[in-house]
Amino acid sequence: MKKPVLVLLLIPFISKAQCFPSNPPQVTTENAEVITLSGKAGNATQVYKIPITSLTASLDDTIVAKASQNKVFTVNAYTGTAIQKALDSANLQGGGEVYAPDGIYLIGTILTIGSNTKLALAPNAIFRRNATINAMLINKYNGTTGGYGQATNIEITGGTWDLNKSKFPTNVTGIATGHASCIYIHNTKIINCYGWHFIELNATQNAIIKNVIFKEMSGAATSQEMMQFDLMVTSGVFPWFGPYDNTPCDNILVEGCLFENGGAAIGSHSSKLNYWHTNIKINNCHFKGMQGAAIKLYDYQQVSITNNTFTDCWQGIYASTIAKQTCKDYIISGNIMKNMKSADLQSRGIYIAGINTTARYLKDITLSNNIIKDCGRHGIGTDYCENVIINNNQVSNNGGTGIWLYRSSTVVAKGNVCFNNNFKSVGVGDFGIGATSGVSTDAQHILFSDNQAGTVYCNYGATNRLIFTNNIITGTFSTAGTKANHRVFNNYIAGVWAP
């Protein structure tokens, strides 16, 4: 048993688990011994002799948040050079806050920010790109330390970052972090990006992107993300420094952000076998005017996408694998999609693609309580997936199938409401169960119950072990193939009970 020690809290602490100065470990005085220290003029001070186990983080896991020691370095000229001088001064002191007053700052070289540093822009401060540089800010680096070890405890907030695409139409990323941890970017605006990304998190762990506005992107393919998660594969992926050890991103929260007029909004387009981005949470954001998929996830695991809104996007959420490896544990819930470029026959709402029936790479998926309208093709599609729950979704007015369980197995579809879909005749109705051709092993072990729809299609020949019960279908229930290991009972179809 460890001996009690006297803990003198002279400066704020920050735990590696929390990373951010606003969340110091809590110290409890319960069962602590009170010691009275005499002071000048008869004054006395009480301190607590606290057992080490009373700290929510042990001393070994506790670091000093040097950026919170009230060392403020004010930028004294409207130039990138002056900003860098203040950042370097903070770095030499082991951290601090760099403050940029209101005004327009012209950035001609890439800025670097060190550990334990907060960069705060005044509300009307604008950092404007003023040369053909390929980034505006990156973390300091040594080029040799892998994993997440080159920089930590960095906060960026306030003002506007103008990547100035009209004057410098060359590839650029606004803010990039690599081999880093504990990154907090919030309450800022990043605009006018050409080609690459507004923010790139590469080999980054424990990051929060909150209340950030991303607007106006040019010169990018629909696959280019406004905010990219990437892994350290090659210099072609992350050109500023290495090592290139394939480190992915882990534990990222994106919350309360606006993404408007871009290619894709969030995601990635590169991967490596046996590496995944993990523990990704995207909550309470709005996506508008995306020419590609708003959220595009290749080779991710442990993903939560909840309570977001999507308008005028080519796709809402797309998940698959480039490396052809198992990707699992997805919750997609409470999202609203409408006016999703219905003129385009490939426009979709939620599309989960597991590649083929042999591997079924996408697994363990829950799609619930989403509202999806006005896509050119299907509202929800699970292709070649396994272990899927689709419940309590409202899907309507889509050009193709409302919800299509396409060659997916071990599926529960329950409590969904689907009407007025397939108005462009590029699907099979409000619901589709199984493909229009195939073999019985393509889609197996399906429970389809308590749903309401206009029309439902099921290919008996391309499904196996289907239970279809307690559904209300106002139109037709059309089938193909031979009914074998299926149980269809107690449904209300076209005004008639079918017990």
Q: What's the whole-number average pLDDT of the chain?
A: 89
The two most distant CA atoms of the chain are separated, in Å, by 97
- DSSP-based helix, strand, coil % in the chain, nearest 5: 5, 50, 40
The answer for residues whose C-beta is within 8 angstroms of residue 496's C-beta and 6 or more apart is: none
Tokens found for residue 422: 């397939």
Lowest mean pLDDT among 13-17, 198-202, 283-287, 459-463: 13-17
| DSSP string across 261-325 | EESEEEE-S---TT--EEEEEEES-EEEEESSEEEEEESEEEEEEES-EEES-SEEEEEE-SS--
**Contact call for residues 393 and 421 (beta carbons, < 8 A):** no
> Residue 199: which of 220, 213, 179, 182 has the closest Cα?
213
> Residue 460: which of 444, 476, 471 has the closest Cα?
444
| Alpha carbon distance 92, 86 (integer Å) | 10
Give residue-wise pLDDT tens across range 349-391. 999 999 999 999 999 999 999 999 999 999 999 999 999 999 9
CA distances (Å), 275 to each of 278, 280, 485, in order?
Answer: 9, 14, 39
Give residue-wise pLDDT tens across range 202-257. 999 999 999 999 999 998 778 899 999 999 999 999 999 999 999 999 999 999 99
* Position 119 pLDDT exceeds 90: yes
Instruction: Give mean pLDDT, residues 167-184.
Output: 98
Give residue-wise pLDDT tens across range 461-485. 999 999 999 999 999 999 999 999 9
Tokens found for residue 10: 């002279």
> Residue 258: which of 214, 198, 193 has the closest Cα?
214
The answer for residues whose C-beta is within 8 angstroms of residue 362's C-beta and 6 or more apart is: 319, 320, 321, 327, 328, 330, 352, 353, 354, 355, 382, 384, 385, 386
Identify the three-state secondary structure at position 84: helix
| Alpha carbon distance 365, 350 (integer Å) | 12
* Position 413 pLDDT exceeds 60: yes
Place of tokens 């619901």: 431
* Position 446 pLDDT exceeds 90: yes
Identify the helix (H) or strand (E) that includes residue 255. strand 250-255
CA distances (Å), 200 to each of 12, 155, 225, 306, in order?
Answer: 30, 15, 9, 22
Lowest mean pLDDT among 13-27, 310-324, 410-424: 13-27
Instruction: Give mean pLDDT, residues 181-187.
Output: 98
CA 17, 23, 28, 34 dihedral sign is positive
Give residue-wise pLDDT tens across range 34-84. 433 333 333 443 333 333 232 232 222 322 344 445 599 999 999 999 999
The answer for residues whose C-beta is within 8 angstroms of residue 70's C-beta and 6 or more apart is: none
> Residue 401: which of 370, 367, 435 has the closest Cα?
435
**Contact call for residues 355 and 321 (beta carbons, < 8 A):** yes
**Residue 69: its pLDDT value, please?**
52
Q: Which domains does the chain have, with CATH numbers?
A: 13-64 (no CATH), 66-443 (2.160.20.10)
Instruction: Give mean pLDDT, residues 180-202.
Output: 98
**Residue 355: its pLDDT value, please?**
94
* Position 25 pLDDT exceeds 60: no
